[in-house]
Amino acid sequence: MTAFDAHRAARAARERGLAAADVARAAGHAGGAAYLHPLAKATQGGHILMSAAHAARAFELDAGDTPDVGGDYIEKATDLASPIVMNVLMRYPNPRAAAAA
């Protein structure tokens, strides 16, 4: 399944429940992370980070929309991020600074 296929599945999954849509979005962003654009744009970091964010939201929804569950998942994902992942993320501009410009 390609990243685009996963995002199409996310749109279709909205009809079946929000958790399924977020799981598909997480898969799409994970697949997209393999194709980061060589130009450092703030939006490129989302391919790396949004996978964990959508997975966290899916876990929240599966637990009855409990925010602590998503927060716990994000904390675990952050702890698992290797120095290589951190170095890749640091190549990109700060998204807040880019949005303000």
Dihedral of the CA atoms 23, 26, 31, 32 (nearest 10)?
140
pLDDT in tens, 24-35: 889 888 888 777
The H or E element containing residue 10 is: helix 3-13
Per residue in 49-86, pLDDT (tens digit) is 889 999 999 999 999 999 999 999 999 999 998 998 88
How many domains are there within the chain? 1
**Element (DSSP H or E) covering residue 55:** helix 45-62
| Backbone dihedral region for residue 12 (phi beyond 0: left; psi -120 to 50: alpha; all else: beta) | alpha
Range of the domain at 27: 3-100
